[in-house]
Amino acid sequence: MDFDPRNTPVRELALAASETPDLPLVSIEGAQATYGEAWEAVRETAAGLAHAGVLPGDRVIILTPNRLEAVWAWFGVQARGAVDAPISAEAPGAFLQYLAEDLSPKAVIGTWSLLARLAQVVSTPPELAVLIGEPEGDELPFGPGVRHLSFAELRALGANSAQELVLPDADTVGTIMYSSGTTGPSKGVMLSQGYYAALPPAYFELFGLRPGATSYCVQPLCHVDGRSAVVTALFLRGELFLGTRFSASRFWAEVENYDVDFFFYVGTMIHLIHKQPPRPLSPSARPRIGIGSATPASVQRDFEKRFRCTLIEGYGMTEFGLLLAQRAGDAEPGNLGTPPPWVEVRVVDAADRPVPAGTPGQLLARPKKAHLMTAGYWNRPDATVEAWRGLWFHTGDVVVQRPDGRFEYVGRLKDSIRRRGENVSAWEVEQAAVRHERVLEAAAIGVPSDVGDEDVALLVVPAGHGDPDPAELRSFLARDLPRYALPRYVEVVASLPKTPSERIAKGIVRERGLSSAAWDAEAAGAA
C-alpha cells in the first residue's frame, strides 16, 4: 500500500463510500455502519457543525465512551476543518477543568452525564453543546445560556444544509490529544489530519495485513491506538469490531466470535488474558495476528501457542505513531524491533551524544516523510522547542541497541508512570494529593506491577495535624484523577529527599521505593 502524503482519513472515507458503500466498516456492541452510512453521518455532522457556527480551526471537545457517534464526531469535526480534542470518559475534576481551560473549546460533544460533569468545572462554557444518547434529567448540562442540540438534531441541520463541504488538506491540524505531563501538566499534542493516514500503510507493510482484513480493538477512541484501529480498517477496506471496555475473560471469546484476522492490544492485556483458566479454542480457530506494545516476553510464546496467534511488537507514542517495530515473520520476544525505512533513530547520553550499541541511552527520532509525527504542543512552544532540540525528537524513553540491530526497552527518562496502557503524569497525581488538608508534600512513582507495566505509588508527608488515612486520601483523589491514575499504594513518610534547589529528588524516591508500611488498595479491597 503506497503512502500518499496528501491523503486524510476523511478523504479516504469519502472515496471508500463511493466505491463500496454497502461494505461494513465498524460495529460497536451490535450497532453497525457501512462505509456509505459512515460517510453520510460524517458529512451531515460536519455540515451541522458549520450551520451551528463552528469555524475551521475551532476546538471541539469530544467526551464519550466508544460508540458510533464518537467516530462521526471525530471525522465530522475534521471534515469541517475544526480541531477535535478527545478526552477520556474517566477524566474528572481538576484534570478535566485543566483540559477544558487549556483548549477554550467552541463546542463540546458528549453524553449527557459526561457533559454535565464538564459543566460543573468549566469557568467559561462553550457556545454549543451536542448531546449524545437519551436525555438524563430535565436540566441541560450547561444551562439556558448555551445552545444545546441532540446529535440527531445536529445531523438534521447538516442534512438540510446547502453549504458545500470543502475537505481540509493533510497538513491541517486535526486533533489535539493530551499526553502525560513530565514535570508539569499534560501537554496537548497537535496531530495533522495526515497523521492518521500515515499509519495504515506502515502497518500493512510491516505486519503483513491484507486488504479486507477484519479486526478487533477495545482501546478507547481518545487514544491513538483506538483511532489507528479505525483508520487501519478504513484503508484496508475491512471491518472493525470496536469494544467499549477490556475484559480479560471475554477478550478472546470476542476475537473468536467476530472471527477477526488481527487484533490490537497493550501488554497488560496479554498478561491478564494469559492468566485466565485455559479453555478449548473454537472449532473454527485459525491463525491470527496481534499488534501491540509492551508484550510480556515471559508469556509471549506460550500465549501464541495457546491462542494460535502471532504477537508483533511496535513502539510508538502519541507524538510519533511508530518509531520501532518488529516485522511479520520476525517477531521474537523481548525486543522492539528496528526502525521502519521512513524513520531515523539514534541513542544518546545526557548531553545528546550518540552512544555505542549495547549502551543504554535516550531514544531520539525524526521522520523521513511528512505527517508521521506531531506538529507541536498546543499552547506550549517552549515544550515543542525542548522536545525537538538539535532537530531530533526526544522520546524521553531509554533503550539499548543489541548487536543484531534490534532495540530493547529499558525504562523512562521522564517523570511519567505507565499503568495498563495509560500514561499517568506523576505531577498531576502529586498536585491532586497536596490539595488534601492533611498532605504537606507528595511524590508519585511507578513500581513494578504483577500484571506488567507499573502500578502508581504515592508517598506523602503529613501536614502536621494528623496522618492522612490512605483509603480516605485515595477517595479524595478520585474527585480529580481518572481511575487509572489512582494510586494502588499509599505510604505516609516523615520527609521526602530534596535537591539543592529544594525540589523533591524523585530519583532518590524511586531508588527508595516502598517500605512494608505502604497501604495496598488491592489488598484492602479498595481497587
pTM of the complete model: 0.87
What number of CA atoms fall less than 13 Å from residue 487's CA on the CB side? 32
**Cβ proximity of 371 and 171 under 8 Å:** yes
What is the pLDDT at residue 427? 82
Whole-number CA gyration radius for the chain: 23
Question: Residues 40-68: pLDDT tens digits?
Answer: 999 999 999 999 999 999 999 999 999 99
Distance, in Å, from the CA atom of 362 to the CA atom of 399, rounded to the nearest integer, reads 6
In 3-state terms, what secondary structure has residue 416?
Answer: strand
Taking the C-alpha atoms of residue 57 and residue 154, their distance in angstroms, rounded to an integer, is 19
Distance CA 379, CA 376 (A): 9
Q: What is the pLDDT of residue 307?
A: 97
CB 105 within 8 A of CB 79: no
How much is the pLDDT for 465?
78
In Å, how far are 24, 90, 264, 398, 417 from 298, measured between CA atoms?
Answer: 38, 31, 19, 21, 21
Beta strands in 415-497 (DSSP E): 416-419, 422-425, 439-448, 454-462, 489-492
Between CA 353 and CA 335 the distance in angstroms is: 23
Short-list 259, 287, 261, 246, CA closest to 203? 261
Map residue 101 onto helix, strand or coil: helix
CA distance 87 to 60: 11
Question: Which residues on adjacent β-strands are paired with residue 511?
Answer: none
Local structure of 443: helix, strand or coil:
strand
Residue ranges and CATH numbers for the domains of the chain are 33-190 (3.40.50.980), 246-412 (3.40.50.12780), 416-520 (3.30.300.30)
SS3 317: strand
CB burial class (10 A; 0-12, 13-18, 19+) of residue 32?
middle
Beta strands per DSSP E along 302-421: 309-317, 320-325, 343-348, 361-367, 376-378, 393-401, 407-412, 416-419
> Other CB atoms closer than 10 Å to residue 264's CB: what's the count?
21
Query: What is residue 272's predicted lDDT score, i.e. its pLDDT?
Result: 84
Residue 235 is inside which H or E element, if any? helix 224-236
Give residue for cell 469519502. 14
What is the C-alpha separation between 16 and 496, in angstroms, rounded?
A: 58
CB 231, CB 255: distance < 8 Å: no
Q: Which strands form 519-520's sheet, in the order they lie side by side?
A: 439-448, 454-462, 489-492, 519-520
DSSP annotation string for 194-214: HHHHHHHHHHHHHH---TT--
Cell for 171?
A: 497538513
CA distance 15 to 9: 10
* pLDDT for the residue 410: 83
* Closest C-alpha among 433, 432, 458 to residue 445: 458
Q: Which regions of 79-232 does DSSP assign to beta strands (E)?
A: 83-86, 107-111, 128-132, 147-150, 173-179, 187-192, 215-217
Burial of residue 500, with CB atoms counted within 10 A of its CB: 0-12 exposed, 13-18 middle, 19 or more buried: exposed
In the prediction, which pLDDT does 527 show? Answer: 63
Q: Which residues of the chain have pLDDT under 50?
A: 501
User: 447 forms bridges with which residues in the sheet?
Assistant: 455
